[in-house]
């Protein structure tokens, strides 16, 4: 059975997974800013694999994997066999993670569907009932928004994101948490509601990414949390594009 090294290379973190033709076998995470050839070698250790698929939105870091794997590596682009259609003015402008999410949701949950991915940015990607990627929405990520408050104000502290005690904060930290979490749920709810109104059929809404568990906890519009969705999408694409 073939084995694959899957790489989801994003602005904040890079996820590496070992997979075979049936499932993900192991996962590791590296902070993207620290990526280097020696660190990647140490991280994957004794993993044995036949092919490498890299989905990257950080071109300068992609060169690390090109140097390491060359012949047995492919990069995720719209030109690969994805098993879905694309209706987008510039398909090459779609982030690799967004393509992987669309393929993952089509295979695991069907369509129509919306994937809400909580990363450095929060992205909403839409798959029509005909399994066509229709585009989406991009908004600032939750961490970016709270870091901006800390960086651009003199008295507001840096906070760790967690469920607020109440919508009415009794401390500065609690007030910031309430604004971040309740405000972000409002943003997500409104965007999802507007997208669902544009789609035909029963729409599945899947959340993934760093803050998926936190935001979905009290947001029923996010029906399923699947933290492996992007990697599963990469695995499915690898199966379709590495023939032996």
DSSP 173-195: HHHHHHHHHHHHHHHHHHHHHHH
Helix axes 229-241, 96-108, angle to 10 degrees: 90
Give the residue numbers marked as catalytic.
97
If pLDDT is split at 50, 70 and 90, which confidence band does 154 have? low
Contact present, 83 and 103 (Cβ < 8 Å)? yes
Please check the confidence at residue 187 and state whether its pLDDT lies above 80: yes
Evaluate if residue 198 carries a pLDDT over 60.
yes
If one counts every other C-beta atom within 10 angstroms of the C-beta of residue 64, the result is 21
With a cut of 90, say whether residue 152 has pLDDT above it: no
Average pLDDT over residues 81-85: 97
pLDDT in tens, 89-123: 999 999 999 999 999 999 999 999 999 999 888 99
Q: How far apart are CA 52 and CA 70, in angstroms?
A: 9
For residue 45, what pLDDT band results from cuts at 50, 70 and 90?
very high
Q: Residue 180: its pLDDT value, please?
A: 87
- Write down the pLDDT at residue 155: 56
**Residue 47 is inside which H or E element, if any?**
none
> In whole angstroms, what is the distance from residue 96 CA to residue 215 CA?
23
Query: How much of the chain, in percent, has pLDDT values that exceed 90?
Result: 80
Q: Kindly tell me the burial class for residue 153, based on how many C-beta atoms sit within 10 Å of its own C-beta (0-12, 13-18, 19 or more).
A: exposed
pLDDT at 150: 62
Q: What is the pLDDT of residue 161?
A: 83
Mean pLDDT of the chain: 93
């Amino acid at each position: 059975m073939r084995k694959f090294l899957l790489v989801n290379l994003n602005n904040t973190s890079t996820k590496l997974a070992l997979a075979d033709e049936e499932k993900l076998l192991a996962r590791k995470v590296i902070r993207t800013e620290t990526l280097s050839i020696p660190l990647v070698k140490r991280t994957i250790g004794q993993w044995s694999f036949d092919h490498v698929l890299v989905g990257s939105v950080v071109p300068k870091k992609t060169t690390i994997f090109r140097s390491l794997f060359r012949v047995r590596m492919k990069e995720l682009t719209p030109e690969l066999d994805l098993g879905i259609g694309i209706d987008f003015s510039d398909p090459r402008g779609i982030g690799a993670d967004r393509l992987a999410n669309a393929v993952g949701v089509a295979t695991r949950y069907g369509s129509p569907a919306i994937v809400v991915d909580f990363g450095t940015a929060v992205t909403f990607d839409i798959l029509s009932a005909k399994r066509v990627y229709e585009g989406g929405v991009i908004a600032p990520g939750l961490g970016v928004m709270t870091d901006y408050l800390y960086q651009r104000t003199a008295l507001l502290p840096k906070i760790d994101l967690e469920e607020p005690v109440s919508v009415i904060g009794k401390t500065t930290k609690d007030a910031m948490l309430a604004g971040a979490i309740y405000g972000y749920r409002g943003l997500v709810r409104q965007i999802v509601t507007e997208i669902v109104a544009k789609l035909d059929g029963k729409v599945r809404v899947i959340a993934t990414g760093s803050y998926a568990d936190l935001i979905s906890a009290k947001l029923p519009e996010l029906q399923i949390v699947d933290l492996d969705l992007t990697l599963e999408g990469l695995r499915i694409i690898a199966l379709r594009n590495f023939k032996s």
